[in-house]
Amino acid sequence: MNLDFVLRTEIRKATDSLFGQPVDNLQIQPTNAEFEGSHTLVCFPLTKISKKDPEQTATAIGEYLVANSGIVSRFNVVKGFLNLVIADKAWVEVFKSIYSNKDFGLLPSNGKELMVEYSSPNTNKPLHLGHLRNNFLGYSVAEIYKALGYKVHKVQIINDRGIHICKSMAAWKLFGHGETPQSSGMKGDKLVGKYYVEFDKNHKAQMKELVDKGVSEADAEKQSPIMQLASDMLRKWEAKDAETLQLWKTMNGWVYEGFEKTYKRMGVDFEKLYYESNTYLLGKEEVLKGEEKGIFFKKEDGSVWIDLTSDGLDQKVLLRADGTSVYMTQDIGTAILRFKDFPKIEGQVYTVGNEQEYHFKVLFLILKKLGYQWAEKCYHLSYGMVDLPSGKMKSREGTVVDADDLMQEMADEAEKQTRELGKIEELNEQQIKDLSEMIGLGALKFFLLKVDPKKRMLFDPNESIQLLGHTGPFIQYTHARIRAIVRKAESMGVKPTESDLSQVTSLEDSERDGIFILNNYINKLNEAARDYSPAVIANFAFDLAKGYNQFYQSIPIFNETDAVKLKFRIAFSEVVADVLKKSMKLLGIQVPEKM
């Protein structure tokens, strides 16, 4: 039973019978917590057809629904707001429809395709805390759209070329002495990141020497020997110098091996990888074509630009004076290539930090000016940076919060708390490790996803892993508690059927509230997709877990002597556990059977 649809149908019947006109555009919202009811009809817009004031209009509709609908038991009116109390038998029908649908929350294919890009790292350093939020957001958005029936293509663009890559290469060439991941015992991405930091340290020292000799800071930055070596490497790379290419391939290979291990632990995956080293050439071709058409222009130094001042933006360089590409160049090529590879996609979602908002505004506008109408289907999933209590991350100084280290710390803390709490006598050491990983990673993911993506956030590791509060472990523990209840019921031979549920005639407040939350799951899925916000699902899961705990505390399940009520409460518990598991899965979080 789709309660929202039935309620709207009954209200339309009411307006048709009372005022001679069925109204399609009804404003129905959740009832304010201080008033009785679950659904509120806003009656101010209906006064035009009722020819009554808002309160009289609301009262007339309320009385009609109680007398005729069969789903409204009573109502109250607050000014022009009609607060409706849904009858218990209607709530039971809603629950039965959810209970009988094993695919509840998973919509059939709608034939539409969507592409979601996330991660998109540089190959000069390991992944960090900011990448964790990026990956978790992109992966979750993709999973949400999949649940709504979309075919989703998960991709990333690997920024494997450019001056930043050459900085690590230059430092390794100067100071590496042939060091490898094998010889150092370091993960490949961490080894390359070590030399990126080494570059920065030496570059600053060399700049200081030049500035002390009277060179301007701007000139010193370019003239430092190590920067000149990196710039020379970039030119040689684009000229396909064999030695430079081989070093580039070797060091990038180290990074990819490291990334793969990190992604596996994160629990994210990709259908296709794009590489800037492949797509920037396509971007250069498009820029040169655009110059011929007069869309772009060349300056005296040979650099190619686009003038967007008439669009309220500024001028943007697309090719440097020496002919080398910029980020925008490769992003143009990547976007075009993706629509060629996947011509059926409805659009592309770019999961990138909010410091790049201007970049994507320019990118989408350039693509549109190049004649690609699908540019209007591109969306920048902009998200705020992640801070720790100690302050903002700074990768070049080597103080970055490493993703691998943070995930390990979360798993270690989860194991520590699990052992302190006890109740793990049945588990062997490997099972304890697996449970700790599940709890630690669940805590991390939930905390990073529960905040609206657009907001900058403070990540507090200690707060995130608490069993009580707005946390992942709270929801995981609730699921484990429910599964223990269901196992106990099964051992007692209590197995609910739809026939048992049909005999339920009344509900407790906490049961009614729980069904209301469950009934809203599909609406929350659509809201999360519309806003590209996994926070909607995270907060839904928390509300559902919190609601179940209120039910559990107020109603002693196994003390119930009425067999029908007992079976209903077991069925209710089963559904809550199932929906918790599904909603957490959309966030990339596993829930334990025991905890």
Name, in order, each residue with C-beta under 8 angstroms of 459's C-beta and a sequence gap of 6 or more: 129, 386, 387, 388, 447, 448
Same domain, 75 and 172: no
Would you say residue 300 lies in a domain?
Answer: no
Q: What is the CATH number of the domain that holds 71?
A: 3.30.1360.70
- At residue 396, the pLDDT reads 45
Residue 331: C-alpha distances to residues 60, 154, 327, 594 (Å) = 59, 17, 6, 46
Residue pLDDT, tens place only, 366-380: 999 999 999 999 999
Same domain, 420 and 533: yes
Q: Dig out the tokens for 440 from the structure.
A: 């630690």
Same domain, 80 and 168: no
Would you say residue 23 lies in a domain?
Answer: yes
Would you say residue 336 lies in a domain?
Answer: no
Would you say residue 565 lies in a domain?
Answer: yes
Residue 397: C-alpha distances to residues 196, 202, 392, 393, 401 (Å) = 9, 12, 12, 9, 11
Same domain, 78 and 167: no
Would you say residue 321 lies in a domain?
Answer: no
Q: Dig out the tokens for 549 from the structure.
A: 């705990």
- At residue 393, the pLDDT reads 45
Q: Which of 221, 247, 273 delimits the end of a domain?
A: 247
- Which residues lie across from 325 on neighbouring strands? 319
Q: Which of 247, 275, 294 delimits the end of a domain?
A: 247
The burial class, CB within 10 Å (0-12 / 13-18 / 19+), for 246 is exposed
Listed as ranges, residues in the chain with pLDDT below 70 are 390-400, 423
Return phi, psi of residue 505, to 5°.
-115, -20
- Which residues lie across from 28 on neighbouring strands? 41
Same domain, 202 and 80: no
Strand boundaries in 218-293, DSSP class E:
272-275
Rg (Cα) of the chain, in Å, rounded? 29
Collapse the DSSP code of 383 into the 3-class scheme (helix H, G, I; strand E, B; otherwise coil) and give the result: strand
Same domain, 81 and 222: no
Helix (H) / strand (E) containing 216: none
Would you say residue 320 lies in a domain?
Answer: no
- At residue 399, the pLDDT reads 57
Would you say residue 234 lies in a domain?
Answer: yes
Same domain, 64 and 202: no
User: What amino acid is encoded at 233 in this protein?
Assistant: M
Q: What is the CATH number of the domain that holds 521?
A: 1.10.730.10
Residue pLDDT, tens place only, 505-542: 999 999 999 999 999 999 999 999 999 999 999 999 99
Q: What DSSP line would sit under 191-204, residue for residue?
A: HHHHHHHHHHHHHH
Return phi, psi of residue 378, to 5°.
-90, 140
Residue pLDDT, tens place only, 237-285: 989 999 999 999 999 999 999 999 999 999 999 999 999 988 988 999 9
Name, in order, each residue with C-beta under 8 angstroms of 247's C-beta and a sequence gap of 6 or more: 169, 172, 173
Q: Which of 66, 86, 106 delimits the end of a domain?
A: 86
Would you say residue 27 lies in a domain?
Answer: yes
Q: Dig out the tokens for 171 from the structure.
A: 């430092």
Same domain, 180 and 56: no
Same domain, 451 and 540: yes
- At residue 397, the pLDDT reads 46
Same domain, 79 and 177: no
Tokens 């011929």 — which residue? 292
Is 566 within 8 Å of 511 (Cβ atoms)? no
- Closest CA relative to residue 290, chosen from 309, 322, 316, 321: 316
The boundaries of the domain holding residue 20 are 3-86
Number of compact structural domains in the chain? 3
Q: Dig out the tokens for 312 from the structure.
A: 């309220």
User: What amino acid is encoded at 498 in this protein?
Assistant: E
Tokens 């060629």 — which residue? 340
Same domain, 550 and 408: yes
- At residue 324, the pLDDT reads 78
The burial class, CB within 10 Å (0-12 / 13-18 / 19+), for 285 is middle
What is the C-alpha separation between 457 and 591, in angstroms, rounded? 25
Same domain, 81 and 172: no
Helices 535-554 & 563-586 angle (0-180, nearest 10): 160
Q: How many CB atoms lie within 10 A of CB 15?
A: 21
Answer yes or no: pTM beyond 0.95.
Answer: no
What is the C-alpha separation between 84 and 65, in angstroms, rounded? 9
- Closest CA relative to residue 154, chosen from 376, 417, 345: 345
Collapse the DSSP code of 349 into the 3-class scheme (helix H, G, I; strand E, B; otherwise coil) and give the result: strand
Query: CA triplet 256, 257, 258: central angle to 5 degrees?
Result: 90
Q: How many CB atoms lie within 10 A of CB 570?
A: 24
